[in-house]
């Protein structure tokens, strides 16, 4: 049997190439129109061509961490572009929502999952992640419909 397909991942959504002074994991300061015109075309093309996954960037856009940016992850990528694959965090990406990283982990779990991240890369503190996510779903902080959407992807 010959396998003829692969699962591609478009990364790092979005604005990685426009950070202030070109510094990795920095802030991309640009208007919404500029973000769409300069940084979004590759993602639009990737979605049209059937990319399976999109990885979120460590960067911020106008001060908002991309891992917590529901307007862009769910609003633009999933709803406007109709991306049907799954969205994955970067390595310890939700930890970096706060400064210093991991300062308010419960908030980071809520913000990342609510933003629309479907799979979270948690290399070390996975039991804490599982406990926080379970608590938040059981207490309706994160709706089960958000989990159902992530699992369906």
Kindly report the pTM of this predicted structure: 0.95
Show pLDDT as tens, one digit a residue, over the chain (153 residues).
Answer: 677 888 999 999 999 999 999 999 999 999 999 999 999 999 999 999 999 999 999 999 999 999 999 999 999 999 999 999 999 999 999 999 999 999 999 999 999 999 999 999 999 999 999 999 999 999 999 999 999 999 999
Domain ranges of the chain: 9-18+25-152
Sign of the C-alpha dihedral computed for residues 50, 110, 79 and 18 taken in this order: negative
Identify the H or E element spanning 129.
helix 126-138
Burial of 137 (0-12, 13-18, 19+ CB in 10 A): middle
Q: What is the pLDDT of residue 1?
A: 64
Catalytic residue numbers?
Answer: 90
Q: Which CATH number fits domain 9-18+25-152: 3.20.20.150, 3.20.20.300, 3.40.50.80, 3.50.50.60?
A: 3.20.20.300
Q: What is the pLDDT of residue 5?
A: 84
**Token pair of 59, please?**
């960067």
């Amino acid at each position: 049997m010959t396998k003829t397909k692969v699962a591609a991942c478009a990364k790092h959504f979005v604005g990685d190439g426009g950070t202030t002074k070109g510094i990795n994991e920095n802030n991309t300061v640009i208007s919404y129109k500029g973000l769409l015109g300069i940084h979004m075309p590759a993602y639009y093309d990737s979605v049209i061509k059937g990319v399976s996954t999109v990885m979120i960037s460590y960067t911020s856009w106008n001060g908002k961490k991309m891992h917590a940016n529901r307007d862009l992850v769910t609003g633009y990528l999933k709803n406007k572009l109709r991306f049907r694959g799954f969205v994955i965090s970067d390595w310890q990406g939700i930890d970096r929502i706060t400064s210093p990283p991991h300062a308010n982990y419960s908030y980071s779990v809520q913000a990342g999952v609510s933003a629309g991240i479907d799979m979270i890369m948690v290399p070390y503190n996975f039991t804490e992640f599982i406990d926080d996510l379970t608590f938040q779903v059981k207490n309706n902080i994160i709706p089960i419909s958000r989990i159902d959407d992530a699992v369906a992807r």
